[in-house]
Chain A
Amino acid sequence: MSELRPGLPEPTATQITEGFWQAAAEGRLVIQRCRDCGAHRHSPTAACYRCQSQSWDWDEHSGRGRVFSYTWSHHPVHPGLAHLGVYNVSVIELDDTEGDPVRLVSFVTGVEPGELEIDQAVELHFDRVNDETALPVFRPSRTP
């Protein structure tokens, strides 16, 4: 159960995504990186979109990025989520990646409706779900 957004579903790991969630539980953001051409990719998958290699590693990322798009959710999908109130879902484009831009769906904490902007700089922190799981989330960047 997310500390910041209780009631939302927990992630489920697969053979390919397990490493991402293990790292997140340890407070690290890792992105898949192709061993052959170096391209980063997300969400995790079995082959490199650029060179088709099936060989890859996890690459730790600083978690610096920018808001690519966002929405403020006003209407709860079901009554059990009404306690969440108005919340944002944001697509974050990570800085300093190789290949096509790398974007994650996440959310930005510490902002009220009207305070989010596209291209706004954000930095990483974690929302603890349980001992095994944490969600990489973001907040407005404190350093320039």
Chain B
Amino acid sequence: MSEPWLSGRAAIVGIGNTAFGKRGEFAERGTFALAVEAIAKACADAGISPQQVDGWASYSDDAATPAALAPAFGCERVRYAGMAWGGGGAGMGGAFLNASMAVATGQADYVVVHRSICQAGGSRFGQALARSDLSASMPEISFTAPFGQLSAAHMFALASRRHMHRFGTSEEQFAEVSINARLMAANNPVARFRDPISVEDHHASRMIADPLRLLDCCMESDVAGAVVVTSAERARDCARDPVYIAAAAMGAPYRWAMGMMGGGNMSDDDFASAGQRTVAEDLYRQSGLGPDDVDVAMIYDHFTPMVLMGLEDFGFCGKGESGDFVQEGRIRLDGALPVNTHGGNLAEVYAHGITHVHEAVRQLRGCANNQVEDARVSLVVGGSGPTPTSAVMLRSES
């Protein structure tokens, strides 16, 4: 492996988002209008005109394409356009890797990373899988959906159950992730779910896919978010203090394949994981940073157990130790590793990871609602999902 040439050569200079709505709330506006609003706000935050954007990076097959966005803003030219594979928030860090490479190598000056979700127009993920006309382009699904594995909750329940079996991880420990998210959101005026919850509330919530209850699952949302990425040189001339991209990485371990969407033929350790073991290795190597350097972490929380497995993949504790790690209060705001200080997917909004990046940027700018004192390094972990998964490491100093 070569030297980490890319580290620190790209920076985030602007963030923007729409209001956070429940699923279908912004149906009348639609995905594209939400994307435009978030991108315009991110550019305003950076102190640039959207017309200066000459590169586009997104993930999860976002419906707002450069072909439509560039003319909407009257951009003079498009110089870079890149889509990261991976469903849901899996490709989030991949989009930042693409944006970083594009600006650091001079392919583009300002690349916008964006994700827009407005779900009323399309069918839910599980409903799409339940259609009888299974696409021949997704042959893997024929080995899962006809047997009733249809929703993301089913898939991640399988990993969660295996983790419980092997390591004694408990539902109380899953609950702690949700309790922490609500405590953080209580101090976030725009979060969707701000009422504190107890272990009893968690256990009383209805079962979705055993062992996952309603309060283990994030809630689908209508939302768009955008981030402006530029070179470290240009960043110094922007309106805000730059937040440097210490590293971005995408990948998957041996035979991870479609992750929990597939048949589960990865190793046993990786089955009971978020699939980010190799992403963590690459991210740490490329950033020159390790778990002890991370002041605050945003760990993708579509389902509570995936935060536990993410903590293990990124080496904050040993394999199988994450349950005790969270139960001892370590991810709370006053803990050793505050996690998801905005409330995350579980309590703020489910935006496929882009709002996790926003919160990391606020922490490193020193303006978060739940500010971690002297936060200088923040890890943002993308969603566990099909290959590739991904992550970003941000730092306030170049």
Contacts and interface: CB of A to CB of B under 8 A. Distances in A.
Physical interaction between A and B = yes
Interface of A: 2, 5, 7-14, 16-17, 41-44, 49, 68-75, 77-78, 80-81, 84, 87, 89, 91, 100-107, 113, 118, 129, 135, 137
A31 B344 CA distance: 42
Contact of B142 (A11, A72, A91): A11
Contacts, number: 139
A61 to B, nearest CB: 14
Interface string B205-227: 01111111000000000000000
B149 interface: yes
Contact of B147 (A8, A43, A68): A8
Interface SS, B side: mixed
B143 interface: yes
Interface stretch (B53-61, B156-164, B331-339): B156-164
Interface of B: 124, 126-127, 129-136, 139-140, 142-151, 153-154, 157-159, 161-162, 165, 206-212, 255, 262-265, 267-268, 271
B143 A69 contact: no
A74 B206 contact: yes
A75 B153 contact: yes
B130 A78 contact: yes
B162 A69 contact: yes
Contacts of A10: 132, 134, 146
A74 B147 contact: no
Nearest to A129: B146
A103 B265 contact: yes
A70 B161 contact: yes
Nearest to A5: B148
Nearest to B157: A71
B299 to A, nearest CB: 22
